[in-house]
Amino acid sequence: MKLRRLPAVFALALAFVPVASPAADKPATTAPLKVLLVTGGCCHDYLHQKDVLKEGIEARANVKIDIIYTADTTTAPNLPAVYGNPNYAKGYDAVIHDECTSNIAEEQVVRDVLKPHREDGIPGVNLHCAMHCYRIGNPNEPAEPGTPHALWFEYLGLQSSRHDAQEPILVTFLDHESPITKGMQDFTTIKEEHYNNIKIFDTAHPLAHGVQAVRVKTKNPDGSQTVTGTRTDDWVDVWTNLYNGKTRVFSTTLGHNTDTVADPKYLDLVTRGLLWATNHINDNGTPAPGYGPNGK
């Protein structure tokens, strides 16, 4: 009965007292980075590696990965969603190139693949055989900037042309202050392909190099081969590049075998490279606020 005698003004004020709700108590969430993974082609287990990469990266960062995959295992695989479509990456925050297309060499196709990075400034991440893709001309000849031969290599920041037989690679970090490599320890891979360096462009910044002992073989008159010694190859394996003066690009030549791709060290490295390329990483190598696992 007393409530009925409250002054009208006080009763009106009660109507505007905020009421807490479960939704209001929840912290604001950060939208995940939208990333496109382009994969498929010759010589690798892309059928399984695409899922390893997607699951491993999404578990480490607030990232949502869409996949363009072809089961074509030739050196010129069909990727109709990409080739002839210069806007294939529209709406994405980054593109991961994990394809193997060494015999895709038409200049316009290469320009179309590069358009999101060159003109739109979409960051790129390049894994293993992506270094041997879209080669115009002889990949063993150093490419001159500004020529069709250099189109893909300028984007990567490094030119490679081949690898030797698989042997373990001792990976040693060169830059211990980069957020990509901060706190990471040197390691030795399982038997892996080790890509050579024909040329490192001025825009590239090496982060790690690999040392591999390679067996030297001599061909006998009957066609057989005899191991006559060993040599040591020392090549840059991990680096960043500033493409066209604006686009951040991260690359590693590591990652031939699925066991390597599934190694937590490898997935940590690639995830950090992706976060660096999109500028969502702290100086100590952790994801920027909102971009860690589950948006933390």
CATH of the domain at 68: 3.40.50
Residues 184/154, Cβ–Cβ less than 8 Å = no
Is residue 22 in some structural domain? no
Residues 122/95, Cβ–Cβ less than 8 Å = yes
Tell me what percent of the residues of the chain surpass a pLDDT of 70. 91
Is residue 278 in some structural domain? yes
Is residue 111 in some structural domain? yes
Question: What's residue 84's pLDDT?
Answer: 93
Domain count, the chain: 1
Is residue 186 in some structural domain? no
Q: Which of 25-34, 64-73, 160-169 has the lowest mean pLDDT?
A: 25-34
Quote the domain boundaries for residue 92. Answer: 30-162+238-295
Residue 41 clears pLDDT 90, i.e. is over it: yes
Across 232-256, average pLDDT:
97
Q: Give the whole-angstrom CA distance, residue 111 versus residue 68.
A: 18
Residue 200: pLDDT band by 50, 70, 90 thresholds? Answer: very high
| DSSP strand pairing (124-127 vs 247-252) | parallel
Residue 69 clears pLDDT 80, i.e. is over it: yes
Q: Give the whole-angstrom CA distance, residue 181 versus residue 238.
A: 10
Is residue 188 in some structural domain? no
Q: Give the whole-angstrom CA distance, residue 94 versus residue 107.
A: 23
Is residue 123 in some structural domain? yes
Residues 147/141, Cβ–Cβ less than 8 Å = no
Residue 139 clears pLDDT 80, i.e. is over it: yes
Alpha helices in the chain (DSSP H): 8-14, 22-25, 46-60, 107-118, 151-156, 258-261, 264-277
Q: Give the whole-angstrom CA distance, residue 293 versus residue 93.
A: 17
Residue 161: pLDDT band by 50, 70, 90 thresholds? Answer: very high
Question: What's residue 219's pLDDT?
Answer: 84
Residue 226: pLDDT band by 50, 70, 90 thresholds? Answer: confident
End-to-end C-alpha distance for the chain, whole angstroms:
51
Question: What's residue 220's pLDDT?
Answer: 87
Is residue 149 in some structural domain? yes
Question: What's residue 28's pLDDT?
Answer: 53
Is residue 6 in some structural domain? no
Q: Give the whole-angstrom CA distance, residue 86 versus residue 133.
A: 17
Question: What's residue 7's pLDDT?
Answer: 46
Sign of CA dihedral 72, 73, 74, 79: positive
Residue 163: pLDDT band by 50, 70, 90 thresholds? Answer: very high
Q: From residue 157, give the alpha-carbon distance in Å to each of 78, 138, 151.
A: 26, 17, 10
